[in-house]
Amino acid sequence: MQARSKKEAQERVDQVRSFQRELGVLEEEGLLSLSAEQKGRVEGYHDTLVRGLYEQYDVDIHEKQKQYSFGMVITSFLGAVALSIGLFFLFFQFWGLFSTATQVTILTLLPFALLYLTYRLSDSETTGYFTKIAAMMALAAFVLDLMMIGSIFNINPSPNSLLVWALFGMLLAYATDTRLLLGASILILASYLSAQTGTWSGMYWISFGERPENFFIPALVLFLIPSYISHERYSGFESIYRVFASIIFFMPVLILSNWGYASYMDFDHDHIEMFYQVVGFVVSGAGVYVGITKNWGEVASSSNIFFTLFLYTKFYDWWWDMMPKFLFFIIIGASSIGMLMLFKKIRTAILREEA
Amino acid sequence: MGSLTQKKTLFIFAALLLAIVNGTIYLNVWLNQWSEPTSVVKLTQRELSFVEESHHDDSALYLHLKWRGDYRYAYRTHMDWLDEKKLRELGFRVQFDENGVLKRTPQRELFIVLEMNGKCYQNAIEYARKYLEDYKNQNQQDYANSAEFKARQKSLEEMETKNSRLCTVDAGSDPELLRHQYPDKTKYIILKGVINIYGGTHDNVSGVISQFFASDIFIPLRFHQKFVESQRESTTDYQENLLGGYDKDIGFEATVAIGSRYEPYIIEVK
């Protein structure tokens, strides 16, 4: 079975290792015994498979490697963010000393140079960490490019810069299989779509954040993307789309459930807040159900988190002022235990169903 | 192999995107600066505040646009002409709830007309002069030594010699219509800005200019020397400006053009 992405490859290797450990236990217990020939064939097959996957995807073969890999992921992330920020400050420090022609040349060529570097690294590097750092810096350089050119020539701001940054980030994310870049691009794209939604109602685009409902359409679009476009060959991209879509939907609902004044709707603010509280509970509950049914763990988890937030926000509204603080927190704790027991029951029911 | 081809294609598209975006921006810059400007005005340190960055991480220099709301207010946000009637004409939905309180209305991006050294500014001087005269008339005996008189006198003096002569006079969504109404390109500037509604009830609704997009005009390197020299010649201390920052008392005159895309650029500084 050919792995289509690094994630799939790692799952395959983990599966092989689990099988080998379980086989060992079964043999010790005397429940299963493979002949020497069978064992040789299975081990030979697994060795070839694992070696092939390692060479193609640089997966972790042993547990200790995994721990190092996790550290490398964190380090790579911090390095990418730090270098990108450093790029901005480096330019700010010296750009005023250059002529306009020099400024424009540096700003225009820098994203191209970093894009080319990213391309060369992606070809030569199997781990992908340095490629991802270069890709993040290429996006940072493009953002710097448009921001600084806008400043030099006093260009009136436009939401289209958000769109092109998002597109560039997504192209790089897909080219380098980088979830961090995809996440950043999704946030920028959501901002652009919200700004456009806002301008349709006649508002100044930068004020898109003042109307949380501007984020609903972007959230829906983002949630549907993985359902219509296959992402089998990309590690965890579908999860990123769904998680960010959930956050981009639920955060505005949470805000509107406490601050109806920000809504486009022309009703009493209390009624608007009540409406969004109901929406929050219903949609997060549905999200948990859909997430479990469709095996979208990230949707179930994020919906779970927001359901809890909505619940605790309601508890605060009802009881914070009217009861002693210790009692309030005891009730919060008790409700958590109640929810745990409920989830345990659901989990057991799923197990019975599977059996 | 398919995956490698796809990866290469994505990189090519990314490079093309960079090329197209940068090309479009430079084309727009060229159009803005090489077609006939919509205005060309001479502004001095009274209208353009040279404010150095308060931190040392940015080496760029800017000129900050200073302007008045109308003849009465030195503060730039209040203006009588941007009343409820005008706001409705500009497309704002001015609505009140059952208690007569203004409903939330999003701010709008519009074109705003600024008048240089015109009737509005002359009215401002006249207003300050009358303000001083009123005090003299009310305190005929002993006004000369009073702190209030000296403050009003200083206010008039600053109005005549230091305060900005740029005054907002109108706004609209069609810049060509505005230019038709204010045809003098050396006296009227049209810039893009953001207007918001201010006030709580029917009686006190008015508009507020939240910002001009081009309020910070970048100073190209070739003009830096002028400001460096002016700083050396300056003998006065820093003085607090209305913006809360610090102006160096630098004398200069900048010829500023507003391009066809309503983006300003400096032609000359002396």
Range of the domain at A86: 66-156
Task: Let me know whether A297 and A261 are in one domain.
Answer: yes
The pLDDT tens digits of the residues spanning A177-204 come to: 898 899 999 999 988 888 887 776 666 6
Residue A152: its chain B contacts at CB < 8 A? Answer: 218, 220
CB environment A190-201: b (16+ within 10 A), e (fewer): bbbbbbbbbbee
Chain B: closest CA distance from residue A175 (Å): 5
Establish if A289 belongs to a structural domain. yes
User: Chain-wide mean pLDDT for chain B?
Assistant: 84
In what helix (H) or strand (E) does residue A214 lie, and over which residues does it extend?
A: none
Q: Do B108 and A202 touch (CB under 8 A)?
A: yes
Q: Which ipTM did the prediction report? A: 0.85
Radius of gyration of chain B from its Cα atoms, rounded to whole angstroms: 23
- Asked if A110 and A145 touch (Cβ cutoff 8 Å), the reply is yes
Question: How many structural domains compose chain A?
Answer: 3
Residue-level pLDDT at B233: 54
Between residues B56 and A354, the one the model is more confident about: A354
Establish if A342 belongs to a structural domain. no
The number of C-beta contacts closer than 8 angstroms across A and B is: 117
Chain A: closest CA distance from residue B7 (Å): 5
User: Chain-wide mean pLDDT for chain A?
Assistant: 87
Which of A12, A32, A61 is the last residue in one of the domains?
A: A61
Task: Let me know whether A202 and A252 are in one domain.
Answer: yes
Does the CB of A45 have a partner CB in chain B at under 8 Å? no
Chain B: closest CA distance from residue A354 (Å): 37
Residue-level pLDDT at B189: 96
Rounded CA-CA distance B188/B173 in Å is: 16
Between residues A152 and B57, the one the model is more confident about: A152
CA distances (Å), B143 to each of B139, B150, B157, in order? 6, 9, 17
pTM: 0.83
Kindly report the backbone phi and psi dihedral angles of residue A88, in degrees, each rounded to the nearest multiple of 5, phi listed first: -60, -50
- Asked if B18 and A115 touch (Cβ cutoff 8 Å), the reply is yes
Task: Let me know whether A40 and A79 are in one domain.
Answer: no
Domain boundaries, chain B: 37-117+165-270, 119-163
For residue B51, is pLDDT > 50?
yes
Establish if A339 belongs to a structural domain. no
Task: Let me know whether A305 and A318 are in one domain.
Answer: yes
Helical axes A129-152 vs A100-124, angle rounded to 10° = 160
